[in-house]
Amino acid sequence: MKYEGVIFRPPSEAQSLILQVTVGCSYNRCTFCGAYREKTFRIKSLEEVKEDIDEASPYGSQIQRVFLADGDALVIPQQDLLRILEYLKKRLSGLKRVGIYANAKDVLKKEVGELKALKELGLGIIYLGLESGNREVLRRVKKNATIEQLIQAAKRVKDSGILLSVTVILGIGGVEQSQAHAMDTGKVLSEMDPDFVGALSLMVVPGTPIEREIEAGQLVLPTPYGLIEELEIMIQHSDFTRCFFASNHASNYLPLRIRMPEQKEEALRRIREVLRRRDPTLLRPEYLRAL
């Protein structure tokens, strides 16, 4: 496989074949993200992508999942995406699901029928970054979408029958916006009603604009217990039809895996016990935290 630069994928795609169909991120201006700063965005040619698929094809019966990288591969024109999915289906006989990162504007450029066409060819899950449900926080981190666009994009994915996984970031509002960020994010998540939620904690990447804000004293990060308090508020204000909510990413101090709504109260009791005891041994050690 001919990868360009460092490759990122969701934790749930750990066993997937990573197929790089774009290089970098077409937006690449979120203040907290350093993943694609060293890359110039481009869409790989269909010939390049087919070469990588051909390379993987001898193992085609063993490959059940494929993840299309980099940052927002759904930006690829519809007909080209259809051709990629068709070729994957043709060459990898064991393939059951394809996943992809997307931003809200890329989703909204596609009609429900177009998303359904992608689903019919194997696109089974879309990963969408909400980060925060608070308008001021989204403005500050220069997220490339409004609350309304993010909710509309989520509903369009759900209407297509494709699974929706939404990412949020604890701590991204700083101490000043901590409670508002957590509460508003819970409320927006409820409106999006995703199949999966992944809660990460902000890890400050060197060289990013948010690092400069912190160094200048413009943003003060919550303590580990402050992040856990955000998690409590977020879950408390979230109501889902059926959702798997996870905070087990390596960046988090308190890993949780919750089936909502049935395990919501149990999770809140556990969080509150951790906050009451303030026992550091109940938290993930700092040296084990990572992106």
Q: How many domains does the chain have?
A: 1
pTM of the model: 0.96
pLDDT of residue 36: 95
pLDDT at 227: 98
d(CA 218, CA 174): 9
Confirm whether 3 is domain-assigned: no
Asked, for residue 242, whether it belongs to a domain, the answer is yes
Alpha-carbon gap, residue 232 to 267, rounded angstroms: 9
Angle at 171 between CA 142 and CA 197, to 5 degrees: 85
Q: Tokens 């994915």 — which residue?
A: 157
Residue 181: inside a domain, yes or no?
Answer: yes
In a domain, 7, yes or no: no
Residue 166, pLDDT score: 98
Residue by residue, pLDDT tens for the chain (291 residues) are 999 999 999 999 999 999 999 999 999 999 999 999 999 999 999 999 999 999 999 999 999 999 999 999 999 999 999 999 999 999 999 999 999 999 999 999 999 999 999 999 999 999 999 999 999 999 999 999 999 999 999 999 999 999 999 999 999 999 999 999 999 999 999 999 999 999 999 999 999 999 999 999 999 999 999 999 999 999 999 999 999 999 999 999 999 999 999 999 999 999 999 999 999 999 999 999 998
Extract the runs of DSSP E, i.e. beta strands, from the chain.
17-20, 22-23, 42-43, 65-69, 97-102, 123-131, 163-170, 196-201, 243-246, 257-260
Write out the residue range of the structural domain in which residue 224 sits: 12-288
Q: Count of CB atoms within 10 A of residue 53's CB?
A: 20
Q: How far apart are CA 264 and CA 8, in angstroms?
A: 30
| CATH number of the domain enclosing 257 | 3.20.20.70
The answer to whether position 17 is within a domain reads yes
Give the model's pLDDT for residue 291: 84
Residue 2 lies in a domain: no
- Residue 63's H or E segment, with its range, is none
Q: How far apart are CA 42 and CA 76, in angstroms?
A: 10
Position 221 in a domain: yes
Q: Is residue 149 part of a domain?
A: yes
